[in-house]
Amino acid sequence: MVTSRVSLIDGVRINQFKTISDVRGTFIKFHPLIELRNSLDSVALSINPKIGTLRGLHFQIEPFAEEKLVACVQGSIFDVIVDLRPSSSTFGKWTSFELSAKNSLQAYLPKGIAHGFQTLMPASIIHYGLSTNYSPESSFSIDPLGDLGIDWPIKELSLSENDLLGVTFEYAAKKYADSLSS
C-alpha cells in the first residue's frame, strides 16, 4: 500500500502550551488534555545535540499501544505522524508539522499513530507524556526512509541502526491491526 500525505490525521490535536517568561527565564505548563488526564503513565525527554537527528517512526502494539503528548521545549523539530488504525478515515496517511520552543505547540497522538521527528536545530529537546510504559516486545519502528515517501528537510541525517532497519508501512499496519484482535 502506498501512503500519502494529508493535512490532518483523525483524532490528532495540536494546541499551544502556556509559557511564562521574565528576567529569570521561562516556566512551561503543559495541558495533559482530557484524553491523557486519567491515563498519563510517564514523562520522558529526548535530548538531541545534533541538527538532522532523525528518530522514528515509532509505535507500540496492544496491550502497550500509547497515547502521546509531544512538545519541543528547546530548539525545533520536523514532526511526522502516520495513521496505523485500520478503522480510521486517514488510515495509511501521514502528515508533518513543526514543533518548536518558539511556537509552543504540543501534539496529542491517540493510540495507533506512529511518530517520528527530525531535529531542525542543534540541542533540541522533546518532552513526551505517555499513557503506558515502554515494552520492547511491543515496540516497532517503521523505516523512515522507506515506502512512505517522506521528504525529510535535512538530507544529512543521523539515524540509529534500529530505525534504519525499521519495518515497512504494510508490515506495521498489519502488526497493529493484529494486536487489536488479540
Look up 128 and say whether it is catalytic: yes
Q: Which CATH superfamily is domain 33-180 in?
A: Jelly Rolls (2.60.120.10)
81-104 per-position pLDDT tens digit: 999 999 999 999 999 999 999 998
Which among 31, 128, 134, 171 is annotated as catalytic?
128
Cβ-count burial of 87 within 10 angstroms (0-12 exposed, 13-18 middle, 19+ buried)?
exposed
Look up 108 and say whether it is catalytic: no
Q: Which amino acid is it at 75?
A: G
pTM of the model: 0.89
Contacts of 53 (CB under 8 A, 6+ apart): 118, 119, 124, 157, 158, 159
pLDDT band at 151 (very low <50, low <70, confident <90, very high): very high
Closest CA to 109 of 97, 121, 118: 97
Q: Confirm if 76 and 104 have CB atoms less than 8 A apart.
A: no
Q: Which amino acid is it at 148?
A: L
Which among 58, 108, 127, 176 is annotated as catalytic?
58
**Per mean pLDDT, which of 17-21, 25-29, 90-94 is the most reliable?**
90-94
pLDDT of residue 42: 79
Is the pLDDT at 123 greater than 60, yes or no? Answer: yes
Least confident span in 22-26, 74-78, 93-97: 22-26
Is the pLDDT at 170 greater than 90, yes or no? Answer: yes
164: preceding bond cis by omega (within 30 degrees): no
Is the pLDDT at 64 greater than 70, yes or no? Answer: yes
